[in-house]
Amino acid sequence: MLQKLQLTAQRWQQLRPTRRGIVIIALPVCCLLGTVGILMWFSASIASYEGWVRHTQRVKIEGRELLNLLIDAETSVRGYQLTGQPGFLEPYHSAAAELPLTLENLEDLIRDNPTQLAHFQQLKSLVTQVFEILAQHVALRLDPFSEEATQRHYLAQQLEQAKQAMDRAHAAIDAFLMEEERLLLERQERLEALRRMNSFVLVVAVVVGLGSSGLAIYWFQQLHQELDRRGRRLEAACDRLARFTANASHELRAPIAAILSHAQVGLLLAQEAPEQSQLRLEKIATLAKFMGQLVNDLLFLARYEGVSSPNFTESFELVTLLEQVAQQWQETCTASHGFHLELPSISAVVKGDRDLIKQAILNLLRNADRYTPAGGTITLRLEVAEHFAVIEVSDTGMGISATALPHIFDYFYRDERVRQRGINGSGLGLAIVRQIVDLHQGRIAVVSQEDHGSTFSISLPLASN
């Protein structure tokens, strides 16, 4: 899981800043639009269910109204039959007048529910049947006080028939209203659930909105810092390029001018003083050799400038390498210096390019040789620390001034004391050393005291780490 997060973070960092900016802007916008869409859906659903709840309540009201009309009509006719008073029929006539409109309203309200509509048709038939019976009873005008047994018996039958029809219609209306009550409870529960979910989504939306906004602000800050760092690096690179171009031009122009001068003088003296001409040619060869080395150094720096550290697979023993470097350097060194080689008895294996490490050490030894007067001492030492192998090159030479010390790894930098003493050099050797050490993820340091010598230290990570 952690590796996946790291891989995702690396892919995120590898995206172009413009794409990252688009994603950062899109994050809160998408959250906002998504939240608005969800809340709108919930609002529409809640409004819809509120409408259904009101609709069901209205159906119940109409159903109860129908039941009341039926009861009023039945009670009214029964009273009329028992008393013979026409005044009892007033509720019946009123119910008979309102009944068609009530049935029509109720039928319109339940057209969306086929099951209830089927029940209603049955209910409507029963109600109609009741009213037809009641209408017959009103039309017969039976005498409730008659002493004839036959008439009293008929009246009792009519009353019983009306009662049974009334009971069936009443039961049908009750069943119809119970179903509407079930629908009402179901829709009210659904409405309440939607309201709770709407509140929950609103809280989540606020949290997500704040979180996405905070994340977007954090990413914007990171992107701004990265662009700022890139801008500073680009500005520094431009400055280095400008200085590099100016210094390279100067370093190449001087030997070219010298070569041209020696060639012109050599041509003039070729006939009259062949010995002088030979000296000029030797100087030309020396200057050409210096220019060739300068060009090689420039190519080296250009090749590895801005290159990230490669994943070295080769491991080698530093003790063996330093022994070879010391032997090679002593064979080519012409100055009369004392030389000490101090190597540990334990192994020191590092990963990297042995040729580049060898070049870095030789550069330090050549500098020590160049800036140490005859009779001085140069020491090449290797120490093994807990995680690093430390290579030291010490000399008892002229040392480095405090003002020059911060700039000695800059391209073409040469201390003014060196120029005054006429010591040759391009000023690229230490820059190459630092570049090699950086490629190996190492560290380079220098300790120097003017007129007492210098010590350069290269720390390389051991292969076991």
**8 A C-beta contact, residue 326 and residue 380:** yes
| Cα angle 56-57-63, degrees, rounded to a multiple of 5 | 90
397: tokens are: 């030479």
Residue carrying the six token digits 């380079």: 444
Could you tell me how many residues make up the chain?
465
pLDDT tens-place values along the chain, 465 residues long: 667 777 777 777 777 888 888 888 888 888 888 888 888 998 899 999 899 999 999 999 999 999 999 888 888 888 887 787 888 889 889 988 998 899 899 899 888 888 888 888 988 898 888 888 888 887 776 665 665 667 667 777 777 887 888 888 889 889 989 999 999 999 999 999 999 998 998 898 888 888 888 888 888 888 888 889 888 988 887 887 787 777 777 777 877 888 888 888 888 877 777 777 788 888 888 888 878 887 887 777 777 776 667 777 888 999 999 999 998 888 877 667 888 999 998 888 999 888 899 999 999 998 898 888 888 899 999 999 888 999 999 999 889 988 888 888 888 887 777 777 777 777 888 988 998 999 888 999 999 988 889 999 999 999 865
pLDDT of residue 292: 84
Of 32, 52, 34, which Cα lies nearest the Cα of 194?
52
Q: Which two tokens stand for residue 107?
A: 């039928």
Listed in sequence order, the residues at least 6 apart from 185 whose beta carbon sits closer than 8 Å to its beta carbon are: none
Phi/psi class of residue 430: alpha, beta or left (left: φ > 0; alpha: ψ in -120 to 50)? alpha
- The confidence score (pLDDT) of residue 242 equals 80
